[in-house]
């Protein structure tokens, strides 16, 4: 299964979250949404995700959670859940 690793230690703001998601999927400068609605669209396919099953791993997830407001954190989890994509918190 393809795994995209998001570096939670580099997330210090909401904007950083989307930057790191973009880096995980598309490399430096990669785009993978700039808000939760866009993230949901990207998870639906066509934005660098493979046709076969894939998942995301968020390293240093406790640091990322502390850096984000509760609405963003909860929304992030809900978007992945709604899309049926695994988000593994490490």
49: confidence class by pLDDT, cuts 50, 70, 90: confident
Amino acid 65: pLDDT: 98
- Structural domain containing residue 48: 2-89
What distance in Å separates the CA atoms of residue 19 and residue 35, rounded to the nearest whole number?
11
Number of H helices, E strands in the chain: 4, 3
Mean per-residue pLDDT, 9-24: 97
Model pLDDT for residues 19-39, shown as the tens digit of each residue: 999 999 999 999 999 999 999
CATH code of the domain covering residue 30: 3.30.370.10
pLDDT tens, residue by residue, 51-88? 889 999 999 999 999 999 999 999 999 999 999 999 99
Query: Domain total for the chain?
Result: 1
């Amino acid at each position: 299964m393809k795994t995209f690793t998001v570096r939670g230690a580099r997330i210090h703001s909401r904007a950083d979250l989307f930057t790191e998601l973009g880096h995980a999927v598309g490399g430096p400068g990669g785009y993978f949404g700039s808000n939760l609605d866009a993230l949901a669209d990207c998870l639906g396919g066509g934005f660098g995700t493979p046709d076969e099953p894939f998942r995301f791993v968020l390293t240093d997830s406790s640091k990322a959670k502390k850096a984000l407001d509760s609405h963003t954190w909860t929304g992030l989890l809900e978007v992945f859940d709604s899309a049926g994509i695994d988000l593994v918190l490490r």
